[in-house]
Amino acid sequence: GVMERLGLGPEVLLHENPRLIYARLTGFGQTGKYAKSAGHDINYLALSGVLSKLGRKNENPYAPVNLLADFAGGGVMCALGIVTALFERARSGRGQVVDASMVEGVAYLSSFLWKSQKVGLWNQPRGENLLDSGAPFYEVYKTSDGKFMAVGAIEPKFYNQLIKGLGLNLDELPAQMSLFDWPEMKKKFASIFAQKTQAEWCSIFDSTDACVTPVLSFDNAASHQHNKERSSFIKNDQGEISPRPAPVLSRTPAVPSCKRDPFVGEHTEEILLEYGFTKQEIAKLYSDKAIELNNLKANL
């Protein structure tokens, strides 16, 4: 309701410009019992049902920072809604309102979980399924130097290479999909991974299709050979590292800025002047605490 109180709701603006795409990104959506309630990623994740699936056996559900509901279910899905509305406008010539709810966005992203329950992928309690740390071949293991290796050897041909790399004999082990034996197999794999360093395991698995990769820190991710070859990470003029824009387009790839991130309010005056505000009006906005100005100039 904030935009309506400012006289800038979609009804007003779409009346002025019927081609406008008006995106509304909220946690709970524009309608419903929680529509006006405060919340954060963890709350939206909880209401979507997804949080109940995240976590290990016999532990509380956990939210993986704020990537799922905020950025994926919210930002990315809202951006997709805008692109979809723009595509539709090219045919109809009319704009519309995009109601992007983080609850619904992350729920929709989890459609795979909902639709795969009947095929046996998610019919066990949390932490006991194929992809949620239940399987020994889809897990993270600690190495002798306190680092970690990620294992995702689901298909039999990949699993066979995992077993070979671990120095085990496939014929002497339980069947890969024997759920009853998974807990003991996890213990066995963990004890083996704990005998070598991360670098040693990389030397064993890097040239294979065992789906075993090192768990890299931010610093190590940027310096890893594969990521360096693809220029997956970039440095700004302050030497700060961040991911390169993705996905990469063949003909019109994004050209990332190598300038440092701006300070809050650094360009406020510059932008407002460009939009026709006078210095006196900008000074009034600042004194009313409506805007922030960094390095406030004396002539204001």
- Report the catalytic residues: 40, 70
Q: Which residue has the tokens 């460009």?
A: 274
- Write out the chain in H/E/C secondary structure: CHHHHCCCCHHHHHHHCCCCEEEEEECCCCCCCCCCCCCCHHHHHHHHCCHHHCCCCCCCCCCCCCHHHHHHHHHHHHHHHHHHHHHHHHHHCCCEEEEEEHHHHHHHHCHHHHHCHHHCCCCCCCCCCCCCCCCCCEEEEECCCCCEEEEECCCHHHHHHHHHHCCCCHHHCCCCCCHHHHHHHHHHHHHHHCCCCHHHHHHHHCCCCCCEEECCCHHHHHHCHHHHHCCCEEECCCCCEEECCCCCCCCCCCCCCCCCCCCCCCCHHHHHHHCCCCHHHHHHHHHCCCCCCCCCCCCC
* Residue 261 neighbours by CB under 8 Å, 6+ apart: 236
Q: Distance (Å, rounded) from C-alpha 180 to C-alpha 186?
A: 11
